[in-house]
Every structure is written in C-alpha cells, then in structure tokens.
Amino acid sequence: MITLLNVTRRFDTRTAVDNLNLNVKAGSIFGLVGPDGAGKTTTIRMITGIMDISSGRIELLGSDNVESVKDKIGYVPQKFSLYGDLTVMENIQLMGALYGADATWIAKSGTEILAFTNLLAFKDRLADNLSGGMKQKLALAAGLMHRPQVIFLDEPTTGVDPVSRREFWQMLYRLNKEGMTIFVSTPYMDEAELCTEVGFMSDGRIVACGTPERLKADYPFRLLELQVKGKQIKQILAGCPILDVNAFGERYHLVTRKQDNVIDQVEAALNLAGVQMEALHEIPPTLEDVFVFLAEGGDEPCTQ
C-alpha cells in the first residue's frame, strides 16, 4: 500500500528526513508519532506528492508516480486550510467541483459525508464560525469527498477538545472498518494506542515500528508505581537502583532494570526518611513510557 525506500529530504544543509524506510499495509491504521521537528509532516507531504524527495523511492497504491493515484488519496493538513468565508456546504461543493464531479453527485455525496461527520445541521454556517473540533470534521469531510482509498491526516486533533477528539476517532474507525487505510500523525499517546501499527520517528528516522502491544512488550525496563504524600522522592530514593522517577501528582513511576528487585529497598528508604507509603506495585508500560525512552535515543535513563 505505502512503501518508502531510503527516502531522504534535505533543506539546504539540514536533513529533515534521513534514509527512511517504511511499509504500511492496506486496511491498517498507521500512527506516526514523534517529538516536534522529528520529520512527521515532511514525511506525509512527500508521500502525498506535496513535497519532492531528495533521494530514495516512494510507492503508493502500487505506483511510484503519486500524480497517477492522487484521485485515490485524501489529505487533511495540520492547519485548517478551507475557506472561512464559505459555508460548510459551499466548501464541500467546492472540493467536489475541484475533483470534476457533477452537481447532482456533489449534492448527494456532500449530504452523505456531512451526515457522516455530524455536520449536516451546520451546512449553512460559515467555516470561520465553527469550533476547532468542527473545523477538523469539516477538513475530514472535504478530504473524503472523492471517496479515497487511503487518507493522510497530519495531527488532525491538536488543540481539539477531548469530546471532539473521541468523535473524530470514532469516525476514523468507521472509515477503516469500511476498508479505508488511515495514515495519521499524532502527538497524543492515547491516540497512538488506537492504531493497529505505530512508527516512532526521531531526528528524521523511524527508530521503532510495530503494534502498540509489541512496542510495549519490548520496553526494556521494569516500571513500578509508588503512591506517597511526601515530597523530594528523587532525593529520598537516590540510594536505590532506580534509573528514573517521573511524578504524576501523588503517584510516581519508578523505572528500574527488569532483573532488579527494588521494592524492599524503596520501602526501606521511605521508612528511613519517615515517609508513609500508600501503595507500591508493578505496572505495565504505556506507549508514553516507550515514547520517552525512544525520544531519549533508546539510552538508559539516569536521574543522578
């Protein structure tokens, strides 16, 4: 479906995407995640033909010429790019016309797509007067007007409220169930969990790729959750074989090596400091834990 072979993109002396190799299967929901500046947007723009590659090869829907398959792909950019002074329906009609459809088909298909995205009741509202979540639904609706086989979405829910995010992903799941391939970049690890496959991108390279379950299973450390009301926990546990401490309110995630049995040592250190422990138990890693590990270069964390 989507194959990248040694794809590189340079901007003068800066390399934004570096010798990237990737294979996305048909019918999947592929999530591309990574820190700002990792190369996610550049990658999507190269695959969709918006931006030229410096070297390498891209195959999309069985062709290495994106122009020949552009009528089969949809694209929702990171920034809302439709016309704010047009109504919801007028934007949809314009997109249909750009793809050469006749007025009868545009009217029928536009109504169906706006109903699918829960925007039909707002068809006469100016796009500028939509909320952030509704604008992203309109962008999705516009990208679906020609019924693409694969749709690319560049951080489509950034800045969108949680309810709209959930509704947006429900629509993506429905589209995927109907056979559409979804390629989405996201900064949200809970959204990455919803993908069938995830690629972690850093410094222009894919540093890990697999199902969420596989990536979490490959996390090389043991994770403990500590609940206390004390403060300066890092200093109190400085003598314990702990690699990293991350605070979540009154809960702390302690990163240690898998072979280490540190629970007794943590309890002893807290008792010595006069800090009452409310709970301490092992927890499975999340994709956020995996992301932090990979974003740091896959090196062993250190808080000392």
Q: What is the pLDDT of residues 200-259, one digit of tens each?
A: 999 999 999 999 999 999 999 999 999 998 678 989 999 999 999 988 878 899 999 887
Residue 42 lies in a domain: yes
pLDDT at 302: 43
Residue 186 lies in a domain: yes
Q: Which residue has the higher pLDDT, 248 or 260?
A: 248
pLDDT at 248: 82
Number of structural domains in the chain: 2
My answer on whether 35 and 143 are in the same domain is yes
Q: Distance between CA 278 and CA 250 in Å, rounded?
A: 10
Asked whether the predicted pLDDT for residue 267 surpasses 60, the reply is: yes
Please say which residue of 162, 183, 215 terminates a domain: 215
**Tens digits of per-residue pLDDT, 41-54?**
999 999 999 999 99
pLDDT at 294: 87
My answer on whether 31 and 55 are in the same domain is yes
Residue 114 lies in a domain: yes
CATH number at residue 246: 3.30.70.100
Amino acid making up residue 158: T
CATH number at residue 179: 3.40.50.300
Whole-model pTM? Answer: 0.89
Average pLDDT across the chain, whole number: 92
Alpha carbon 211 to chain centroid, angstroms: 13
My answer on whether 278 and 129 are in the same domain is no
My answer on whether 181 and 248 are in the same domain is no
Q: Which domain holds residue 241?
A: 220-284
My answer on whether 264 and 248 are in the same domain is yes
Please say which residue of 200, 215, 230 terminates a domain: 215
**DSSP-assigned letters across all residues of 95-159:** HHHHTT--HHHHHHHHHHHHHHTT-GGGTTSBGGGS-HHHHHHHHHHHHHTT--SEEEEESTTTT
My answer on whether 199 and 243 are in the same domain is no
**CB within 8 Å of 280: residues ≥ 6 apart:** 224, 225, 226, 227, 263, 266, 267
Q: Are 54 and 42 in contact, with CB atoms under 8 Å apart?
A: no
- Range scoring the smallest mean pLDDT among 26-35, 61-70, 166-175, 244-253: 244-253
pLDDT at 299: 58
